[in-house]
Amino acid sequence: MIDLSRYRGIIFDMDGTLIDSMGSHQSAWRAVCEEYGYPWDEAYMYSLGGVPTLQTVVVLNEKYGMSHNAEIVAARKKLIWEEGDHTPTVIADTFAVFEHYRPSMKIGVGTGAERGHALDMLNATGILSRIDALVTASDVENGKPAPDTFLNVALQLGLTPAECIVFEDTQIGANAAAAAGMDCVIVKDGKIQC
């Protein structure tokens, strides 16, 4: 087990870090990209994991020189995702960390997902009732890579940034953790990178 004894709190990203739902999000994004004419680049889209949906559309418009209405495209992505099969499961490696440290440390979730989606996923996996804090894209003005999400989780936990460690699966999330003054553990393909 990874030694986190120097910290007082753990902050997990949700999609792709604590809960395996990135595949269903990727499928929804692929359909949206095809529908709106954005070139599909799976690796690039995965790198945007944790960025709120609305902001992802803004990024895609800028990258590809398009001017689609971000709210309409984001709503379409949400609808496609909701209609798909996205039964969530926990990611074994990070959930083992959660289980090991839950009795002795405060645990929060900081996600780029909208609040409704986060509540659904965390409820379906039984995690919601076991965390001490939750901050979603709906709760902050500036999502990842800005530090706001993680700073707000630390605040809810009653901890300083230096007392928290973040688990993230994207570089954007790692950048947000660094900007918040927090150490970060990367999770790649469901495996903790030490």
Per-residue pLDDT band for 89 (boundaries 50, 70, 90) equals confident
Mean pLDDT of 87-108: 93
What pLDDT shows up at residue 88? 82
What pLDDT shows up at residue 84? 78
| Residues in the chain, total | 194
**For the domain 22-83, what is the CATH code?**
1.10.150
Task: Say how far residue 98 (Cα) sits from the centre of its chain.
Answer: 16
Name residue, tokens 């660094």. 178
What pLDDT shows up at residue 36? 96
Q: Locate the domains of the chain by residue range.
A: 9-21+88-193, 22-83
What pLDDT shows up at residue 26? 82
Mean pLDDT of 129-135: 97
| Chosen CATH of 9-21+88-193 out of 3.90.870.10, 2.30.30.40, 3.30.465.10, 3.40.50.1000 | 3.40.50.1000
Q: Are 97 and 10 in contact (CB under 8 A)?
A: yes
For the four alpha carbons of 51, 146, 16 and 132, in that order, the dihedral sign comes to negative
What pLDDT shows up at residue 46? 79
> What is the pLDDT of the chain when averaged over all its residues?
92
Count CA atoms within 13 Å of residue 96 on its CB side: 9
Mean pLDDT of 128-146: 95
Pairing of the two strands 106-110 and 164-168: unpaired
Give the separation between CA 19 and CA 89, rounded to whole angstroms.
6
Mean pLDDT of 55-78: 94
Give the separation between CA 61 and CA 3, rounded to whole angstroms.
42
What pLDDT shows up at residue 86? 66
What pLDDT shows up at residue 184? 97
Closest-CA residue to 54 (of 77, 71, 76, 79): 71
Catalytic residues, by residue number, are 13
Mean pLDDT of 43-65: 88
CA angle 99, 108, 97 (to 5 degrees): 25
| Between 194 and 181, the higher pLDDT residue | 181
Residue 22 has pLDDT above 70, yes or no: no
Mean pLDDT of 119-129: 93
Per-residue pLDDT band for 174 (boundaries 50, 70, 90) equals very high
What pLDDT shows up at residue 16? 86
Share of the chain above pLDDT 90, in %: 71
